[in-house]
Amino acid sequence: MHSSHLHPIAWLRRLRPKTASVARMRLRFRGTADRISAFMNLVVYLTAVVAVTAMLVYAGFEDDTIDRRLVIHVLQGAQIVFIVNVLFNLTFRTKAFFRDSLIISRVADFAILLTLIPLIFPHGSGIFEPVVHIMHNKYFLFSILAFYAVAEFSYGTMQLLGRRTNPSLILSTSFLLFIFIGSFVLMLPRCTYGNISYIDALFMASSAVSMTGLCTVDAAATFTPMGWFVIAILMQIGALGVLTFTSFFALFFSGKSSIYNQLLMHDFIYSKSMSQLMPVILYILGFTLTVEAAGAVAVYFSLPDGFLADDIGKRMAFAAFHSLSAFCNGGFCPLPDGLADPALMRHGNAFYLVTTVLIIAGGIGFPNLVNFKDVLSEYIRRIRARITGHTCCPKVHIYDLNTKLVLLFTALLFAGGAVMFYILEYNGAFERLSLQDKVVQSIFCSATVRTAGFNTYGPQSWLGVTFLSAMFLMWIGCSSQSMGGGIKVNAFAAVMLDLRSIVYGQKGVTAFGRKVSPDSIRRAYAVVCFSIFAVFAYSCLIMLMQPELDMKDVMFECFSAITTVGMSLGITPELSDVGKIAIASAMFLGRVGIISVLCGLVGNKPDISPMLLEDDIIIN
């Protein structure tokens, strides 16, 4: 009987073995494709590192010191690897390729495929000739390779995080990685006007990533515009956090992330839900870039006439760099005299006020910025409900407790510091200034001593009581998860609230109608104790290695490094190589957090306290 006349059930039974064999073949092929894809991902990740390194070498060395043809060949090899990867995924993993990718990822893949055109068509013709001519330009290739390499490196890094590594260790290692990368980049000949030792390059990279501003060399006379550009990039990475960048590129280009990656990023970037992780990252990056751009415009128009000989290019470059440095609380300045430049000191009150606003904006903290966005959304929702006549259930607490405490204590510390500087230095460091200049300098000094570290009237010119008061402000610093350092306003507020509850005889700690968790109080005290111990330990270490240095200078240097403020009494260039490494490690600990480093090294231990009997320790 012909198969067409078979009963449907019999026909399916006869067809089943063939279908099963085809399914097995497809399954085997899919498994092979997945294994090849995993291997290709590793190759592409390593190639991305090589490509970025090659581009840095090409940009950082002079023409007569390297074989540029060899570098170009390396980049062309990376180009081929990237193209093969895209074609393989497009051919053999089509469904996964389109299912797991965002539009921007497809744009990056399409851009890489565009680099095939100059290879296939060496010379264009007709209307396509100008397009092909542009594609033959090496900078066209460099830009696309950099775009694709950064995306693949970020995605690969986020995949590696899926190995369940300790989150605190990831944070510490990521900062260390960029410190070492930055140190080697700063060693490139085009970054400096002369030779610089690796220890100095390592110190400067640590200072930039930790946003401290301490310098072992005359930065204005040492670094070229390319060197200052590298320092700016390191400050930006240190300010936003390495994981913010990698997670942004990984999520932005891949469109997906493992649950562990999302939980990890939730710990580092404040987000109330997993679904809001990408919007929060975009909001943080967008807010940062917007404020820095607006700050650059404001700085440019606040510069006095005659500054930098009215060179528009130099004024624009200075405005862009200074806006970034101020918002990131970096404290770096490319001017020989820093912000004590005579032209600024004479007619730069508007400039100092703009700088103050940028410093404070950078010290607010990402969680509070996210809360501001939520508050604005809530107000808009209420206004829309009133206009449309719909009933809306307003949220009881639209401002987080953390936001209220940060705003309150930041305002108190800033206003108190300004009043302190004005009163104490009225007839001191500010004696020769006009009344308006005294007010402006008091406001500026109150903001900069808390973490930015810009100098106009430095600590050498302060009275003793001003010096101690400024150190207190330096110790407190800015908000948690902000650009600033110190023990953080949050920890200081928690300790003050706990002291108040002890004095009042209360068992719990409350603020703004809410109870503060005991874990927050314990962590705040730990931060305070570790900061004091770190300053003591580093001061003793430096004084043992270099007993010729003054004790006050050494203690202030270590204090400034731990709090990532960057002010100095002038001994930074006098430090030995071991001393420079010690201060660099202090800046790193101040940026990452001593508790984070200890948690990453020690790890979690089993908590047996619930099974033990409770007893009291006698404390007067």
Predicted confidence (pLDDT) per residue in 283-298, tens digit? 888 888 899 999 999 9
What is the pLDDT at residue 3? 46
For 161, counting Cβ atoms within 10 Å of its Cβ (0-12 exposed, 13-18 middle, 19+ buried), the class is buried
DSSP string, 590-615: HHH-HHHHHHHHH------GGGSPP-
> Are 436 and 425 in contact, with CB atoms under 8 Å apart?
no
Indicate the average pLDDT of the chain. Answer: 82
Of 77, 255, 287, nearest to 154 by C-alpha is 255
Q: Does the pLDDT value for residue 597 go beyond 90?
A: no
The C-alpha R_g of the chain, in whole angstroms, comes to: 29
Which H/E stretch holds residue 511? strand 509-511
Give the whole-angstrom CA distance, residue 200 versus residue 3.
84
Give the whole-angstrom CA distance, residue 620 versus residue 605.
31
Q: Does the pLDDT value for residue 282 go beyond 60?
A: yes
Q: How confident is the model at residue 226 (pLDDT cuts 50, 70, 90)?
A: very high
What is the pLDDT at residue 1? 44
Q: Does the pLDDT value for residue 545 go beyond 90?
A: yes
75-89, 179-193, 502-516, 592-606, range with the lowest pLDDT: 592-606
**Could you state, in order of their start, the residue ranges of all structural domains in the chain?**
37-163
What is the pLDDT at residue 104? 58
> Are 132 and 121 in contact, with CB atoms under 8 Å apart?
yes
Q: Does the pLDDT value for residue 550 go beyond 70?
A: yes
183-197, 474-488, 493-507, 597-611, range with the lowest pLDDT: 597-611
Q: How confident is the model at residue 444 (pLDDT cuts 50, 70, 90)?
A: very high
The upper half-sphere exposure of residue 608, i.e. CA atoms within 13 Å in the direction of its Cβ, equals 3
Give the whole-angstrom CA distance, residue 501 versus residue 509.
6
Give the whole-angstrom CA distance, residue 535 versus residue 561.
9
User: Parallel, antiparallel, or unpaired: how do β-strands 514-516 and 509-511 relate?
Assistant: antiparallel
Query: What tokens does 550 get?
Result: 């003054």
Predicted confidence (pLDDT) per residue in 360-417, tens digit? 999 888 888 888 888 888 888 888 888 887 766 666 678 888 899 999 999 999 999 9
Q: How confident is the model at residue 475 (pLDDT cuts 50, 70, 90)?
A: very high
What is the pLDDT at residue 614? 80
Cα separation values, 530 from 191, 481, 534, 538, Å: 37, 18, 6, 12
Predicted confidence (pLDDT) per residue in 344-354, tens digit? 988 889 999 99
What is the pLDDT at residue 598? 78
Give the whole-angstrom CA distance, residue 383 versus residue 95.
45
Query: What tokens does 8 get?
Result: 């449907």
What is the pLDDT at residue 249? 53
Q: How confident is the model at residue 12 (pLDDT cuts 50, 70, 90)?
A: very low
Predicted confidence (pLDDT) per residue in 153-209, tens digit? 777 766 665 555 566 676 777 788 889 989 999 998 889 998 889 999 999 999 999
Tell me what the mean pLDDT of segment 458-471 comes to.
91
3-state secondary structure of 515: strand
Tell me what the mean pLDDT of segment 292-316 comes to.
90
What is the three-state SS of 356-395? HHHHHHHCCCHHHHHHHHHHHHHHHHHHHHHHHCCCCCCC
Q: What percent of the chain has pLDDT over 90?
A: 37
Q: How confident is the model at residue 579 (pLDDT cuts 50, 70, 90)?
A: very high
What is the pLDDT at residue 168? 66
Amino acid at 612: L
Q: How confident is the model at residue 359 (pLDDT cuts 50, 70, 90)?
A: very high
Give the whole-angstrom CA distance, residue 180 versus residue 205.
7
> Are 238 and 204 in contact, with CB atoms under 8 Å apart?
no
Q: Does the pLDDT value for residue 212 go beyond 70?
A: yes
Give 450's DSSP letter.
I
Q: Does the pLDDT value for residue 587 go beyond 90?
A: yes
Q: Does the pLDDT value for residue 84 go beyond 60?
A: yes
